[in-house]
Amino acid sequence: MSQLNLDDYNQLVINTADSFAERHKIKTCICKHLKTGKLYFTIGKPVIECTNGFEENTHKVIYSDGIRMYCREEAEFNQKFEFIIDV
């Protein structure tokens, strides 16, 4: 199977985000990674880390490329991503 070019990859992420938001009734946003130009979609609002450790009560952003799910601290996410579209 050949690799997707960036435009095809990004269109696939947009289509997946739209489907995800409709299916789960969760607000999502499309965001672009500033270094790679790849698009991802956020899943709901930022969540709070609830473990009894160093990162307790820090806000995290859950996001996806439609294949995998990722999690980052909200402050780091805001430095590395740019919001593009609300779905």
Q: How confident is the model at residue 55 (pLDDT cuts 50, 70, 90)?
A: low
Domain boundaries, the chain: 6-86
pLDDT range class, residue 53, cuts 50, 70, 90: low
Residue 1: the pLDDT is 40
Give the model's pLDDT for residue 42: 94
- Long-range contacts: 65-69, Cβ < 8 Å, 24+? 65/13, 65/38, 65/39, 65/40, 66/12, 66/13, 66/16, 66/17, 66/20, 66/41, 69/43
pLDDT digit string (tens) for 3-46? 778 998 899 898 899 888 888 888 889 999 999 999 999 998 88
Query: Pick the residue with more confidence: 83 or 54?
Result: 83
